[in-house]
Amino acid sequence: MNKLSKIYVAGHNGLVGSAIVRRLQGQGYEHIVTRTSKELDLRDQQQVDAYFKSERPEYVFLAAAKVGGILANATYPAQFLYDNLMIQSNVIEAARRYQVEKLLFLGSTCIYPKNAPQPLKESYLLTGELESSNEPYAIAKIAGIKMCSAFNKQFGTNYMSVMPTNLYGPNDNFDLQTSHVLPALMRKIHEAKQNNLSNVTIWGTGTPLREFLHVDDLADACVYLFQTYDASELGEFVNVGTGKDISIRELAVLLCKVIGYEGHLVFDISKPDGTPRKVTDIEKLSSLKWKPSISLVEGLKSTYSWYCEKEMR
């Protein structure tokens, strides 16, 4: 991949896609092609085929997906399954048809069984029952991994898959109805401070343990792996994370400090917790000579600054 290679970043307006674009641009790649969902519906096979036929991208980062937290997954399970299956199937098949040299598929660590041993090793895939609260999304992502692997085996393609842990950063979704836990907490605590509220209600017990990776670290890992390795060297997929976790309660307390909120945290135990613990084993990633560089405190501060600037526009 040279500086003039045509690189298609699917999902460039999202959290992950925008970070990959920033990383590629920062490294001097000049020919990045993108389309919004209004310009190109990736769920439509004819549209995707026509786009690849006309643009002929040489490299593809497949970061487009329908994503959301527990509430969104519970409310729209059919859309999470259908939309993600269609998006990835259409893009991967078009990449094959129009001879894309290399593709990177973005999955999620929700692919692992609910009660898998911790930390999560890549070998734990399909060894147990999935967490019901995000099963449709997880099934779609597992299908994407298997599709890349099958295409490599049957057609000799070079499609790699990475499974990032919980992500956060600029361009995250802060909609309380559809967001993940970290941006939802950040917005709730910010608004409580702005409105001088005495307490903030948080779903669940606060005891589940989660791992968080800044999206710019993920983008750095994706571009590094893409430039350095072929799919055959990565195996079926590789985890991308920090290997460190924190409880939801501890995260909320940390956010209060970053935001400057001095009220009380109230935990609504009638709401679901989701998976009890989810932290990735990053031994394979470390063996590939990459590690994250943005600490959680540093990442939360920069993300909150970005959020405040966005709110002021």
Q: Which residues of the chain have pLDDT under 70?
A: none
Per-residue confidence (pLDDT) for residue 137, from 0 to 100: 94
- Known binding residue 209? Answer is no
- Known binding residue 13? Answer is yes
Per-residue confidence (pLDDT) for residue 69, from 0 to 100: 75
- Known binding residue 107? Answer is yes
- CATH class, range 7-171+212-243+278-293: alpha beta
Determine contact, residues 17/87, Cβ cutoff 8 Å. Answer: no
Per-residue confidence (pLDDT) for residue 300, from 0 to 100: 98
- Known binding residue 176? Answer is no
- Known binding residue 36? Answer is no
- Known binding residue 164? Answer is yes
| Each residue's pLDDT tens digit, 172-201 | 999 888 788 899 999 999 999 999 999 999
Per-residue confidence (pLDDT) for residue 71, from 0 to 100: 79
- Known binding residue 180? Answer is yes
Determine contact, residues 259/186, Cβ cutoff 8 Å. Answer: yes
Rg (alpha carbons) of the chain, rounded to whole number = 19
- Known binding residue 188? Answer is yes
- Known binding residue 17? Answer is yes
- Known binding residue 273? Answer is yes
Per-residue confidence (pLDDT) for residue 68, from 0 to 100: 81
User: What values do phi and psi take at 77, rounded to 5?
Assistant: -60, -40
Q: Given the residues 137, 159, 168, 261, select the one marked as catalytic.
A: 137
Q: Which residue has the tokens 């045509």?
A: 6
Q: Could you confirm whether 137 is annotated as catalytic?
A: yes
pTM over 0.85: yes
Per-residue confidence (pLDDT) for residue 259, from 0 to 100: 98
